[in-house]
Amino acid sequence: MAESVTITDNRTGESVEVPIVNGGVDSAAWSKLMPGTWFYDPSFSTTAAAESSITELDGGAGILRYRGYPIEQLAEQSTYLEVAYLLLNGELPTETQMADWSHEITYHTFIHENVRKRFMEGFHHDAHPMGILVSTLAALSTFYPDAKDIFDLESRQKQIIRLIAKMPTIAAGAHRHSVGMPFVYPDNSLDFTSNFLSMMWRVAEPNYEPNPVLAKALDVLFILHADHEQNCSTTAMRVVGSSHADPYSSAAAAAAALYGPRHGGANEAVLRMLNTIGTLDNVDDYVKDVREGKMVLQGFGHRVYKNYDPRAKIIKKIAYDVFEVTGKNELLDIALKLEETALADDYFVSRKLYPNVDFYSGLIYQAMGFPIEMYTVLFAIPRMAGWLAHWSEMLDQNSRIARPRQLYTGSGVRDYVPIAQR
């Protein structure tokens, strides 16, 4: 028996049977039965606005897979650039494909000098790095007019390579501008994450060699943040892209969505919470305040995951690896006790409030020396691969321009009254 649902319009007695396909139902059949009646879903939490073969997310089971590959396997065995290739192309690369892909990315890391001198250096000296990043991404569209040929596959591939390659350069440049340090050019002898660390931290040394443990940890974090299905920023990428805007403008919109504290700023909130708790002795009292609604437990719970975020388990292990190099941070002990206390409390377990990806990532970034202002930027660098994968998929699907409807709640028809008579 085929899976389906039957809906009846009680006003007319008419019914329609709607098949369930891939866990969803086609709204077109409902619309034929009830024309002019709209589904009310303000945050799109129960609405599938796209079909996608990129990322599978099962929040109830705590599953995250890129193109069918479990995130756990990719984090342990892969690299960020390999995962980026997978997201964009649907398959893991061969050795030859990987070598060519890495070469292309490596030799497109430089940015036009006028991007740096006229745009990035034009910001106020203490401008937020994420604000610089968003604006610079938008500005890139003026440097690559061929990017508007979005249905030219060769041109599209050029823009994809440029965006992934230049993100670390722009990100590091944004940080150094915000703290008054000179711009550092990419070092093509280094791998993707090591090159980023070099552009971040190099001062006067001719060659910068990052600690391999820290470079690997950052690479894993990049893998974990590469994509996460139809989140706010990815949806922004697809919505703007559906107008056939160039990928730089679409990516700037996605980055702007990520800039919001409800999306990309969660790990900052976790760090501030841990600093507020201050000591191990204060954990129990803080948890009590959370239960009483006086405080918020940052880094717990997720809009999608109703189980332990699989990324959080991986990040927790990475935290130990990083602290072995950087030295232990007392905030880690507070975080561990907070997690233990919360998961032993039925108040949180019954509400399915488990640690998410943001709970430990901020601690790692802090240990590696990144200022809080850079945390969202560190999110944006790897997420560019996911944004572009969804953007390209949307174009291949020949998707219609995004145009949701509304439920009008304003005044009925009114006649205009001249101002002297009001």
Which residues are catalytic, by number? 263, 302, 358
**Three-point CA angle 229, 233, 234, nearest 5°:** 40
In a 13 Å sphere around the CA of 266, the CA atoms on its Cβ side amount to: 20
Nearest to 43 by CA among 354, 263, 240: 263
Assigned token pair, 321 = 């690896």
Nearest to 29 by CA among 19, 44, 42, 43: 19
Contact 322, 214 (CB under 8 A): yes
Q: Where are the alpha helices (DSSP H) in 2-152?
A: 27-33, 71-77, 80-89, 95-106, 113-114, 129-140
Q: Edge to edge, what strands does the sheet with 63-66 contain?
A: 55-58, 63-66, 69-70
Rounded to whole angstroms, how far apart are CA atoms 234 and 224?
A: 15
**Three-point CA angle 359, 365, 366, nearest 5°:** 95
* Overall residue count recorded for the chain in this entry: 422
Contact 338, 277 (CB under 8 A): yes
Nearest to 208 by CA among 222, 192, 195: 195
Assigned token pair, 175 = 């940080």
Rounded to whole angstroms, how far apart are CA atoms 279 and 53?
A: 45
Contact 33, 17 (CB under 8 A): no
Nearest to 302 by CA among 247, 244, 359, 250: 359
